[in-house]
Structure formats: C-alpha cells, structure tokens
Structure 1
C-alpha cells in the first residue's frame, strides 16, 4: 500500500541548515519516516499537527550547538547538579500530534526520575532544558511546539543572539537569565562564545571554569 505524498513541498537551502517542509503529513507517516531513517542519521525531524520539517545541520549550525552543549554540561558538573544529556533525541507525544528533535536537551532537576531509563514522554517528565539553533528560517513554530511538550526552559540561538525562554502559564516568556543558572549573566555566555572563536574551545572552557570557580553560588 502506497502512502500518499503531502501536497506542499517548500525547500530551503542556506549556509547553516538545509530544510525541507512537508504539509498534510499524517502522524503514522511521520512515525514510519522516523523508523525508515533510523536513529543514526543526519536529518532531524520536527512535526506539528501535519507539518513536518526535515532539517540537515551544517557546520555553522553544529558548532554553536556543540559549544552551548559543552557550556551547559560543564555548568552542571561544576555546580554539583545532576544531568542527563540526550542531544537530538526524538521527543514526541501522539496525543498532542507533536514531535521534535532539538539540538540539545537535558534533564537536570528531573534527572533522578529518568536515570538509567529510555525516556518515554507518555510516562516520563519532559527534559528540563532544550537548546535549538536556528540560523535560517523554520516553518515550524518552535516556541509553541516546545511549550506544548511542557519544556520548562528553552534556549534559542540564531547565530548572534541567545534568547532564554521560561515556560509560564503554558507560554514562553523571555527572561534575562536562565532559571536553572540564575546567577549566570548572559554577557558571560557571549564572552565564552567569542573566546571559543578567538582562542579555541579548549582555552575558552579553561577560562570559563576559572571564572566559574569564583562566581558560582555557595553550596547550601
């Protein structure tokens, strides 16, 4: 039995991402595509009530994703927080007809609840923090998508500006600092980004960890 192809195809190819948007895609078709492509693939899927975006990240997308992920992980470790990193694991809720594969996602506050488990959003809490890099335009409303999935904290980076969003009354509100790391000013994150470009990631991380030892909150 053949699956009917969606009627609208809107490709976009630029420097940081390659995107293809399909409309009128049934949930069953979305799940079949996930199974067909498998886990180890370059393309990432975002699905929202019939709209399916396929995105292939290029270097200008992947590098900031890696840098932000490294920053968050080291923050958690050096501040003695629990953390489970899941990168672009598929997050999906059939009841909501929504699915996403963020660049990075982390369990921090709820890490003990999913430790050692394969996460199932039908049973488990959503990740505490999700990161998305969108240098080019996405046809999927990521704010609405992740809000519906119940992600408490959402970082979005467009290559220049980092936007930190906190879920409040089922909608995201932009905030000045991360709810997870409220003592970390955004200018410190931007300085880390710049040092990664100018000094290299290893030296930038060394500098950041020196700063962190003097500026992280006291235990207890």
Structure 2
C-alpha cells in the first residue's frame, strides 16, 4: 500500500530541516508530486530510504546565486558552452535516489542538454558541476554519490571545498576539473566576500574585465 505524505501539513520555517526515515521510493515520488502541486519551495534529498527536506534562508540562497554568476562569467570568458539547470529534481529509480541541488551546470554535456525541458537519468547524464551551500545532511552527499555527479562544490561561511567523484566516492581536491587552470579554491570565497562590500554587479563587472 502506498502512503501519501501530507506535505501541506509539514510546516518548515526558513532555515529548518527535517529528516523522514523508512520511506519507500513510491512514497518519495508521491511526496514530489504533492510538493509540485502545492508549490512548496523546499529542497529535498532522498537516499537509502531517508528523505531530508530543507527550507532555505536568504543567507543560504544568496551565496549559491553569486557562485552561479561567477561560474557563468568564467565559462563565458573561456568561450565554453553551458546550461544551468538550477534546483531541478534529479532522480534515479534504479538506485532509489533523488535530490535537488542548490544549482547545477551542464558544461561538457551542454550541447546534449540544451533542448531538455525534463531530465531522465536513464538516458541523460548527471550535471557536470553541482553547487551546494551549507550541506549538513549525509543523505545529500549519499545522493550525489549515487548519481555520480563528477564535481561538487560545497560553500559554507567557514570553508569552501571542491569534491571530485573518484571510484564511487567524493575526494576533496585543491583543483577544479572544470577550471583546472584557475585557483578556484581561493577565488570563489574571495569573490563572494567582495560582494558583501562592493555588491554583486560591481564584482561581476570587475571579474569580466580581469578575465577578458
């Protein structure tokens, strides 16, 4: 018997997170359908029958948007194609896993994905680069590993890390495979901090000038 989770009765304040255990794949899919039908703005991750639901704060949303803009400037300066898929729901029934990144990019696979309006991971590749802010849930990392996203950036106020998918696991790296010739590990935190003093638009204008 499939049990529908009454998402409209789950109250999450901004910045809060809840974990639901022992959920079947069918319950997870029913949850996603109800989430979409009710227009609920939360992020989810599902792995090993555990569902994590998070309601982002502005302090969570702003950094990943800034980092996303930085990535676009860097890719454009290198004349590389990209497609951003934001917090699209990625799910793979065969592995019973699903997640919604803060944001993500197809870069190496940009041409293949440019016409996609829906993602089907039975035929489509996972994003080439995903960006997360304040990952506190093991479920989220488990889901990324199951989906085999090649590169994951994790930003917190204390630390910025580059995680590279290697032999089924994430390994912390000092070099970004997406930008091997740029000091991404230092560049991203510095640019995010600059926004707090000079604003996003000015920081991005100056970055474009430096990269041209």
> Same fold, TM exceeding 0.5?
yes
| 1:61 matches 2:60 | yes
Higher relative contact order (CA 8 A, sep 6+): 2
Aligned positions, number: 204
**1:134 CA drift (Å):** 1.5
Distance (whole Å) between structure 1 residues aligned to residue 78 and residue 132 of structure 2: 23
Work out whether residues 144 and 171 of structure 1, in 8 Å CA contact, stay in contact via their aligned partners in 2.
no
Q: What is the root-mean-square deviation of aligned Cα atoms in Å?
A: 2.0
Question: Is the contact between residue 103 and residue 131 of structure 1 (CA under 8 Å) also seen in structure 2?
Answer: yes
- Asked whether the 8 Å contact 1:133–1:159 carries over to 2, the reply is no
TM-superposed CA distance for 1:2, in Å, is 7.3
Task: Give, in angstroms, the shift of residue 158 of structure 1.
Answer: 1.8
- Is 2:21 the counterpart of 1:17? no
Aligned counterpart, 1:123 = 123
Contact 1:129 1:151 in 2 (8 A): yes
**Is it true that 1:86 corresponds to 2:120 in the alignment?**
no
Aligned to 2:8: none
Structure number having the greater helix percentage:
2
Write out aligned runs for 1:12-161 (5 A).
17-38=15-36, 40-117=39-116, 118-134=118-134, 137-138=136-137, 140-161=138-159
Unpaired segments ≥5 residues, structure 1: 6-10, 214-220
Change over 3 Å in CA distance of 1:4–1:34 after alignment to 2 = closer
- Give the TM-score normalised by the residue count of structure 1: 0.86
Structure 2 residue matching 1:183: 3-state secondary structure: coil
Q: How far, CA to CA, are the matches of 1:159 and 1:41 in structure 2? A: 27
Aligned partners of 2:33, 2:4: CA distance in 1, in Å? Answer: 17
Q: CA deviation at 1:182?
A: 1.0
Question: d(CA) in 1 for partners of 2:44 and 2:189?
Answer: 29
Residue equivalent to 1:218? none
The question of whether the paired residues in 1 share the 8 Å contact of 2:133 and 2:156 is answered with yes
SS in 2 for 1:45: strand
Q: Which residue of the other structure, out of 176, 179, 194, is the alignment partner of 2:177?
A: 179
Greater mean alpha carbon deviation, residues 188-197 or residues 91-100:
188-197
For residue 95 of structure 1, report the CA deviation from its aligned partner.
0.9
CA distance in 2, matches of 1:121, 1:4: 24
Q: Is the 8 A contact 2:20 2:52 kept in 1?
A: yes
